Homo-oligomer: A and B are copies of this chain.
Amino acid sequence: MKEVNLICTKCNKKFPIDKVHFRCDICNEPLELEEIKEGRIRKDNVFNQTIIERYADFFPFLDIDKDLSLGEGFTGLVESNKIAREIGIENLYFKNETQNPTWSFKDRGTIAGIQHAVKLGYKTIGTVSTGNMASSVAAYGAKANLKTYIFVYKDIADEKLNPIAIYNPRLIKVDGDYGKLYLESFKIGEENNIYFINSDVPFRIEGYKTIAFEICEQLDFDIPDYIVVPTSAGGDIRGIEKGFREFKNCGLIDKTPKIICAQASGCSPIYTAYKEKSDTVIKYENPSTIAHAIGNPTPPSGNQVLRMINWNRGTCVAVSDEEIIEAQGMLARTGIFGQPASAVPLAAVKKLREEDYIKKEERAVCIVTSTGLKYTAAFKKHNLRFEECNIKDLSKIVK
């Protein structure tokens, strides 16, 4: 691996990357890889490239194991003039992360994490997740032929459990506090030589940078005003922001967009701290939202998201379940079906436009994080319509 360090996001203490280090032993804050200052895009044949290869200058790997890839990334960026008009904004784009191999953005973080795990000689990986990340790590573990531990919470619905179990990991439903389980997993990992690719571990964050890189390429390096990210643990939003920052360092873009941290009102610990001008996120009591996928009451990167929003000069916003469902329907009526959490950015843009925070001449990109097929209970919240008839009456009905 290249000579890069991990660095504490709070106190700047350095850690080497040739061992696993997830959090600072002094601050208990997340670590991240030192910022890249020089790099270019490898504009080879994209049909023969993985995302880690195309943006290799922005990763610390000297060689890349192509066999670990499931074809993650290179997802679509879809512009919707229809919704832009409805909301009254110049340009509105949706980065469709449902086009990943396990149909969520998590695959980008998993591939970076598993590259690191394999380089360090690990034979076992794992994660703690309520759904999307569990499927992702189970799938990549299967591809890499690694033993894979997946810890999920006790009350997980079968609908979420089965699409994890199908990849055949060692899947354990754990009764206990989810925030504690996150930290407990690192301890178990250390004791048993398991690399836990959890929600905000440094290499997972690195993988998410590729969302920013692709948006730059897709918009021909003409950077939008806002990137709106559904935020739970805080990993995705941190990675995306870091990606833009590094492209700017390298002269590939001349400004960075404002980053919007979008949460569900029913579980909005980061938004709450931001509003209260606190620098510390505290546990969100009695969380309840239809956007389950972003329902983490104790976000491990919460404080770092607050620090990042502060220097980036973006903002935090929270939207109600009602607004989320409305946005989910609106998004589907432009051809993109995301899960409730994935509709949070659109609901946020609508709200911020109404408040005139976002101006009508501005441009925003919403991250659609995962497929609507993964959370079918949301169907009941929509007024879905169909008719019935006999084939002999069909012609009359259509007329």
Contact = CB atoms under 8 A, between A and B. Distances in A.
A303 interface: no
Contact of A163 (B46, B159, B220, B372): B372
A103 B101 contact: no
A130 to B, nearest CB: 14
A174 interface: yes
A387 B220 CA distance: 48
A374 B102 CA distance: 13
A171 B388 CA distance: 9
A148 to B, nearest CB: 11
A335 B101 contact: yes
A163 B194 CA distance: 38
B172 A386 contact: yes
Given A165-B386, A181-B391, A191-B395, A218 B175 contact: no
Nearest to A171: B386
B166 A332 contact: yes
A376 B161 CA distance: 11
B214 A174 contact: no
Interface in A210-234: 214, 217-218, 220
A335 to B, nearest CB: 4
A371 interface: yes
A162 B387 CA distance: 13
Interface stretch (A6-14, A266-274, A285-293, A377-385): A377-385
Given A99-B71, A371-B103, A395 B187 contact: yes
Contact of A71 (B78, B170, B384): B78
Interface residues of A, number: 89
A26 interface: no
A98 interface: yes
A316 B167 CA distance: 30
A113 B153 CA distance: 45
Interface string A136-165: 000110110100010100100001011101
B373 A163 contact: yes
A176 interface: yes
Interface of A: 45-48, 67, 69-72, 74-82, 96, 98-103, 139-140, 142-143, 145, 149, 151, 154, 159, 161-163, 165-168, 170-177, 180-181, 184, 187-188, 191-192, 194, 214, 217-218, 220, 329, 332-337, 371-374, 376, 379, 382, 384-392, 394-395, 397-399
20 contacts: A48-B218, A70-B76, A82-B145, A98-B101, A98-B103, A139-B337, A143-B334, A161-B384, A166-B372, A167-B332, A168-B332, A168-B333, A172-B388, A172-B397, A174-B391, A176-B394, A194-B398, A371-B371, A373-B373, A373-B374
Given A69-B78, A166-B329, A174-B389, 6 more contacts: A142-B334, A143-B335, A162-B379, A172-B387, A172-B397, A173-B387
